[in-house]
Chains A and B, each alone.
Chain A
Amino acid sequence: MDDKAKSGSVRLGRVLDRLAEYVRNSPGDELLEDARREGRDPAQTTLRVKGLFRQAVKNYQQKQLEKAQQEYEREVAAMKSRQISLPKAPEKRRSLLAAIFSQQPQLRAAFTFQNRGFSQLTDQDVENHLRKLALLGVLDEMHLPGDDE
């Protein structure tokens, strides 16, 4: 095929590929000298190129943050939607919590009672602790007689 018969894109493509090869491999000082001759300030080019990359990093980090936030919100929603079945009577709930801590004393360390003894916990405190334990799956392993009341 002679030159004129080749398509413009093929001819231009081959020229550009060779020029790109030259740019890839040519000494840096030649590139800088040519840039200056063409009226460009290489320092400004560096500022612009670094700015582009920094912006890409910023966009990426922002995207990661949004992803983590969405993930967190999904998990919270999943936890909230989980059905938790606790004994209805406050004294039964208190017994359940006591039984859990007695059977798994290591869990006590994870719960702060704000310098109060176990017996001083309010019914609401007990319920909150049980809900947390339920979300952790601890209640699934506990079986106390009369739980299902």
Chain B
Amino acid sequence: MAQDGVPDAIPAKPATYAEIFHAIESLTDEDSERLEQVALNRIIRIGRRAANGRTHEDLLQEAMTRTLGGQRHWYPETVGFVPFLIGAVWSIASEWAGHRKRNPDSPEYAAPESQLTKEDEEGNPTSPFDGLAACALNSEEQMVEAEIEAEQQALVGAIEQHFAEDENASYVLMGWQDGMDGPAIMEACGFSETTYRAIVRRIKRNSQKIMEQRHGR
């Protein structure tokens, strides 16, 4: 107990295997839908080529593998299982994109990173990608970059095209592309929160269809 009578904060404990297994079995339909959609979104975000052939399912499994292996810690007392996994999916996808750029030809991209984790001298897990030097793009890498750019340009073009006749959706899309968030767009366009949410939902539904047509699920 601290001197001021307030109990000292008890440090959060990472989840046990039993808690993780229980959380998996307790996933609801809503949870699964949310997880799958975020994973799909992130794979398309980094580009299929950047993901090196890995799918959103690989991304979800990698998040679980890292949780079990202790490379990512879930603290059940402070965060729910699904928000935790979404955070893990988010950051692993960013890593995949970044690592590929740093060393695209590495054979290590043939396997999930969690299978490649090494230990430092003190036995702490380290990423096999640590220490890879950033380097200038060679011509092959430039081709891959150009391919990703063309793919993403086409996808965003198709989404814009789909909403060309939907003035409100077009405003929202333009606002997002300019880096505006929801409140800023609502204020600029005079949308109520209900209207904004309905537009976003419409964009999500239709752009998801477009993405799935192009990339599959």
- Which positions in A face B, CB cutoff 8 Å? 3, 6-20, 22-24, 26, 28-32, 34-35, 37-38, 42-43, 45-46, 48-50, 52-57, 59-60, 63
How many residue pairs at the A-B interface have CB separations less than 8 Å? 154
- Which positions in B face A, CB cutoff 8 Å? 20-21, 24-25, 27-38, 41-42, 44-45, 47, 57, 60-61, 64-65, 68-69, 83, 86, 90, 115, 148-157, 159, 173-174, 176-179, 181-182, 200-201, 203-205, 207-209
- What are 10 A-B residue pairs whose CB atoms fall within 8 Å in the complex? A6-B177, A9-B152, A12-B156, A15-B173, A15-B203, A19-B207, A24-B83, A28-B33, A46-B33, A53-B61
Query: A31 touching B37 by the CB < 8 A rule?
Result: yes
Interface centre among B31, B33, B149, B178 (most CB of A within 10 A): B33
Query: B38 touching A24 by the CB < 8 A rule?
Result: yes
A56→B88 CA distance, assembly (Å): 15
Query: B65 touching A59 by the CB < 8 A rule?
Result: yes
Query: B32 touching A50 by the CB < 8 A rule?
Result: yes
Closest to B62 in A: A56
- Describe B's contact surface by its main secondary structure: helix
Residues of chain B lying within 8 A (CB to CB) of residue A54: 24
Query: A11 touching B156 by the CB < 8 A rule?
Result: yes
Closest to B200 in A: A22
Given contacts A15-B177, A19-B204, A24-B86, contact A8 B155 (CB under 8 A): yes
